[in-house]
Amino acid sequence: MEGVLLKVYNYCWDSSIWFPEGMKWSDLESKDPNIYFGKPKDIHWCVVVGMILLVVRFVCEIVLLRPMGRYFKIKESKPQLSPNESLEVAFNQYKGRLPEIEIEKISKQTDMRELDVIKWLSIRRNQNNPTSMFKFCEVCWHFILYVSLFIFGIVVMKNKPWLWNSQHFWKDWPQPTDNDIYWYYLIEMGAYWSFLFTIFIDTKRKDFYEMTIHHFATLTLLYLSWCASFTRVGSYILLLHDAADGWLASAKITNYCKYTKLCEFCFAMFALVWIVTRLGIYPYVPLYSVIVEIHEHIGHFPIHKIFVVLLVLLQLLHIMWTYYLLKVIVQKCQTGEVKKDARSDSDDTDSSDTEQPINGVPVHNSKNKGDAQLTRKSN
């Protein structure tokens, strides 16, 4: 077994897979201490960086984000309902989404109004969702992280020649790795590891699997680009990806704080930056360069093909998310409001909905004593 694993290991790191014909791993070694080529073992620290970011997030939530959420009166708890066996059975059977005919049937069985059944189901669905405070802290952390990474990326990249001319991605390849690019990679990869560490506890959305694929694909691309000395195009793509995310997070924050006009402005900026970077610059600069321009400087080799496949996969995800984005924009233009996040599984039901009386009895918040009691409808 050990011999088989050794053969697999040697095959995976064979220079014929990673480089064009005639090039070896030894070509990435420099005798000059001032010239550094990225080594696989040096980037493994990104996992530790990811863990450190989790600690920073936890401290930020306690010290800054939760107090800020309380200042903006973000709810920390959910309305509670007293048990109702008939409704609970129906809820579990249909996973909380009862068809209209079943709502009519359960209304007769429980002697409740249909409107009260719908309200009960809505509140019951929210018992499985994170609190508004949890989601507020989550999106605030994303805002802090994305904006910090984007600013750091601008500082690192502003004087790099490949920011303005894609031919420099490949000119004189393999190129030495600058110290600031190493730190940029290390922190960005740490951020993606932190996303993967928390993906099962953060707010779950309809594109959960797509987002997981995106994070794994991005990390794989970063590892491959680091090992194959493709850090120039890799750093360019990282900067593009970070440009829009801060605007989306800011739109969500202002939405929680009920600053409607500011939310609409942030969302409009997000849509603009997203379309320009993900559907404009990304396919026509880095993706085109990796597929076409690279062969003006470098021959064919297997890792390059894997690199192309993963970049195309990211572009397909960009197109899918743009479809979601356009749905929200069309909904806003047609109705004047966005009824629900097109990517979210959460109801995000506001207190104005969930704390309405059911059959004349108010729904109590879980911080208060007593549960909501359901009365029978009048004969």
Helices of type H across 61-173:
66-71, 85-93, 100-110, 114-126, 132-157
Q: Which residue has the higher pLDDT, 195 or 26?
A: 195
Q: Is 212 exposed, middle or buried (0-12, 13-18, 19+ CB in 10 A)?
A: middle
Residues 174 and 124 in one domain: no
CB atoms within 10 A of CB 74: 20
Please check whether residue 374 is in contact with residue 112, taking contact to mean a CB–CB distance below 8 angstroms: yes
Q: How confident is the model at residue 352 (pLDDT cuts 50, 70, 90)?
A: very low
Q: Are residues 121 and 220 in the same domain?
A: no
pLDDT cut 70: percent of the chain above it: 87
Q: Does some domain include residue 23?
A: no
**pLDDT tens per residue across span 280-294:** 999 999 999 999 999
Answer yes or no: do 103 and 145 share one domain: no
Supply the pLDDT for residue 338: 61
DSSP string, 262-303: HHHHHHHHHHHHHIIIIIIIHIIIIIHHHHTGGGGT----HH
Question: Beta-carbon neighbour count of residue 223 at 10 Å?
Answer: 17
Q: Is 370 within the bounds of a domain?
A: no
The answer to whether residue 195 sits within a structural domain is yes
Residues 288 and 229 in one domain: yes
End-to-end CA distance of the chain: 76
The answer to whether residue 345 sits within a structural domain is no
Asked if 121 and 144 sit in the same domain, the reply is no
Q: Does residue 349 sit within a domain?
A: no
Does residue 282 form part of some domain?
Answer: yes
Same domain, 190 and 331: yes
pLDDT value of residue 340: 54
Residues 222, 267 share a domain: yes
Which carries the bigger pLDDT value, residue 300 or residue 314? Answer: 314
> 128, 152, 183 — which closes off a domain?
128
Total domains, the chain: 2
As a whole number of angstroms, the distance between CA 231 and CA 221 comes to 10
Rounded-to-integer distance, Cα 139 and Cα 133, Å? 10
Are 109 and 244 in a shared domain? no
The per-residue pLDDT for 59 is 97
If you average pLDDT over each of 23-27, 82-86, 126-130, 362-366, which comes out highest?
23-27
Q: Are residues 283 and 210 located together in one domain of the fold?
A: yes
Which domain does 313 fall in, by range? 33-41+131-335
26 domain-assigned: no
111 shares its domain with 255: no
Domain assignment present for residue 98? The answer is yes
CA distances from 376 to 101, 112, 185, 194 (A): 20, 6, 62, 49
Query: Could you say which of 312, 335, 358 is where a domain stops?
Result: 335
Mean pLDDT, the chain, rounded, equals 85
CA–CA separation, 169 and 161 (whole Å): 9
> Based on the domain organization, do 104 and 187 belong to the same domain?
no
189 and 160 part of one domain: yes
**Which of 316, 335, 354 is the last residue in one of the domains?**
335
- Residue of 343 and 92 predicted with greater confidence: 92
